[in-house]
Structure 1
Amino acid sequence: MKQVWKRMFPGTLALLAPVLIWAKEQTTVRKSGSASNPTNTVSQRSQPALMLARHWEAEIDIRGWWASEKFDGIRAFWNGTELLTRRGNPTVAPEWFTALLPEWPLDGELWVGRKQFAKTLSIVRDTVPGAEWSQVRFLVFDAPQAAGGFEQRQTFLQQWQPPEHVRLVTHERVANETDLQTLLIRVEQNGGEGLVLRRPGSLYSPGRSGDWLKVKSYEEGDAEVIGHLPGKGKHSGRLGSLQVRLADGREFKLGTGFSNAERETPPPLGSTVPFRYSGF
């Protein structure tokens, strides 16, 4: 297993807390379809054939696009029989959590609340599902096998009556870039991560697509841990900051937001550290 660290904390740079990425497991994606069974097909593969967003650039005209909140949760795919992570690993959701899900696929996010990623992760990766699953919501934003463009797939979803712990994500039309910035400010002021834009009429196309765009006030990256710098004062004798290197060779320090436990046992040299930033 590969160790990755993921956590958000205040500041221009954000080191993301430790998670273990589970080993890839072979899974099967259901292929049936109609109004009770959608018609498009998703091929069999070890990982779900998910549609992934690109980053929005200012030169892209987004007038008339659909916007929804970008939730800081765990991407989840219901294939009709199993609830899988983005990497294709089956979750250990309680039976009641999946009992009323449909026989056709759903794409969404497992989510506890804003700024609660670490808690969501702790619940979902537990090998024995506990009572804390009652705090998890499955936020559904698409039906990958439903026929038609984005609006038709949303209409299809609206015909379904989900159980209480499943919520259909609301999408709003964006009039122009000013409208987009207003929506982004509103979401971020409420503790949200950002927005996802979806092109009107777009098909569900697995892979990275320009028909879905992420909009955030910060960017994300990965860096390699190349050094542990000692702390001073109250952090004397343990980690002060991490020295990290980007793929292009740039180096910098990540030094805030660590818990006491993380300072005692920092990410090892050579490990990959995802981080968020608003600029170097």
Structure 2
Amino acid sequence: MKQVWKRMFPGTLALLAPVLIWAKEQTTVRKSGSASNPTSTVSQRSQPALMLARRWEAEIDIRGWWASEKFDGIRAFWNGTELLTRRGNPTVAPEWFTALLPEWPLDGELWVGRKQFAKTLSIVRDTVPGAEWSQVRFLVFDAPQAAGGFEQRQTFLQQWQPPEHVRLVTHERVANETDLQTLLVRVEQNGGEGLVLRRPGSLYSSGRSGDWLKVKSYEEGDAEVIGHLPGKGKHSGRLGSLQVRLADGREFKLGTGFSNAERETPPPLGSTVTFRYSGFTKTGLPRFAVFLHLQEDF
């Protein structure tokens, strides 16, 4: 896997034009508070029209696609004036965190580190921004309003000099499926969650798309928490396992994958949790189910 996206400077204003127009219109909106934005798919304080990935299936030919690590963070969208969550709620990021962001949109993840989703969620959900925001990085992987296909949008991003707490995600060209598996093993051995593949030349579009594919060595599912079962032995006095219910009504216990803090303060009843598993048992329940995290609800 030799080809990696690097900084490039095309000698044309054509690539910049749509974003510069968008920025000018956004400036008008901020000044007047009334002008509409005909080029943007996302209005302020509305749910962002984000592009979402489908799961990769082995029959899909991914030769020549771009791969990057799938980060276990909080999806975030900078609309030029506000940093929004996937559901369109404004974050309470400190002023310094957004002060140097551009006037054009960015799509990415708020991320503290690998296997630190719970910590990231706690910081981002806090209604009063504190010093812990210094641990958060905004990992940017796309510029939705930039012109052209995926490569052109990456070229556009590389012309921007981001502040220290913002990182542009690296994308590597995948030669074949063997190359893909090698990269997946490397990422997972380093504690990563998996990969995201992006089709060469693909446009940014809202909704789930076959132009973005997520690759993991395991499957994921969601379930509703319907009970807290007490722990025994070293877990005496705190959570032992969760009783959860799948969307089809099947119930099972989820007892591994929790940190000490999560056992002390488990996900509340009625909340939705995400778990990983490896296929199904003969009775149709997830096999080797392991708790991953509380699902975002904001």
TM-score bracket for the superposition, by shorter chain length: 0.7 to 0.9
Give me the TM-score of the superposition, normalised by structure 2. 0.76
Is the Cα contact below 8 Å between 1:220 and 1:277 reproduced in 2?
A: yes
**C-alpha distance in structure 2 between counterparts of 1:208 and 1:32, whole Å:** 34
Is the Cα contact below 8 Å between 1:224 and 1:272 reproduced in 2?
A: yes
Offset at 1:244?
A: 2.1
Is the Cα contact below 8 Å between 2:23 and 2:80 reproduced in 1?
A: no
More deviation in 202-211 or 120-129? 120-129
Offset at 1:100?
A: 1.1
Is the Cα contact below 8 Å between 1:140 and 1:168 reproduced in 2?
A: yes
Change in CA separation of 1:237 and 1:20 when aligned onto 2, cut-off 3 Å: farther
The match for 2:124 is 124
Structure 1 residues 114-166: Cα deviation after superposition (integer angstroms, max 9, x where no partner): 11112222222222222222221111100000010101111111111111111
Offset at 1:25?
A: 22
Offset at 1:29?
A: 10
**C-alpha distance in structure 1 between counterparts of 2:142 and 2:128, whole Å:** 28
Offset at 1:259?
A: 4.8
Change in CA separation of 1:266 and 1:68 when aligned onto 2, cut-off 3 Å: closer
Offset at 1:262?
A: 4.6
User: 1:13 aligns to what SS in structure 2?
Assistant: coil
Is the Cα contact below 8 Å between 1:26 and 1:88 reproduced in 2?
A: no
Change in CA separation of 1:266 and 1:109 when aligned onto 2, cut-off 3 Å: closer
Give me the TM-score of the superposition, normalised by structure 1. 0.80
Is the Cα contact below 8 Å between 1:218 and 1:276 reproduced in 2?
A: yes
**C-alpha distance in structure 2 between counterparts of 1:177 and 1:69, whole Å:** 16
Offset at 1:12?
A: 51
Change in CA separation of 1:137 and 1:265 when aligned onto 2, cut-off 3 Å: closer
Offset at 1:48?
A: 0.7
Is the Cα contact below 8 Å between 1:84 and 1:91 reproduced in 2?
A: yes
Is the Cα contact below 8 Å between 1:93 and 1:133 reproduced in 2?
A: yes
Is the Cα contact below 8 Å between 1:4 and 1:274 reproduced in 2?
A: no
User: 1:53 aligns to what SS in structure 2?
Assistant: strand
Aligned residues: 280
Bigger share in strand: 1
**C-alpha distance in structure 2 between counterparts of 1:227 and 1:7, whole Å:** 51
More deviation in 264-273 or 116-125? 264-273
Bigger share in helix: 2
Change in CA separation of 1:97 and 1:30 when aligned onto 2, cut-off 3 Å: same
Point out where structure 1 has 5 or more consecutive residues left out of the alignment. Answer: none
Offset at 1:36?
A: 19
Offset at 1:47?
A: 0.3
Structure 1 residues 82-120: Cα deviation after superposition (integer angstroms, max 9, x where no partner): 111111111111111111111100001111111111222
More deviation in 9-18 or 204-213? 9-18
**C-alpha distance in structure 2 between counterparts of 1:21 and 1:161, whole Å:** 20
Backbone CA RMSD of aligned residues: 12.1
Percent identity of paired positions between Structure 1 and Structure 2: 98
Is the Cα contact below 8 Å between 2:26 and 2:103 reproduced in 1?
A: no
Is the Cα contact below 8 Å between 2:146 and 2:156 reproduced in 1?
A: yes
**C-alpha distance in structure 2 between counterparts of 1:5 and 1:273, whole Å:** 35
Offset at 1:80?
A: 0.5
User: 2:276 aligns to what SS in structure 1?
Assistant: strand
The match for 1:55 is 55
**C-alpha distance in structure 2 between counterparts of 1:228 and 1:33, whole Å:** 48
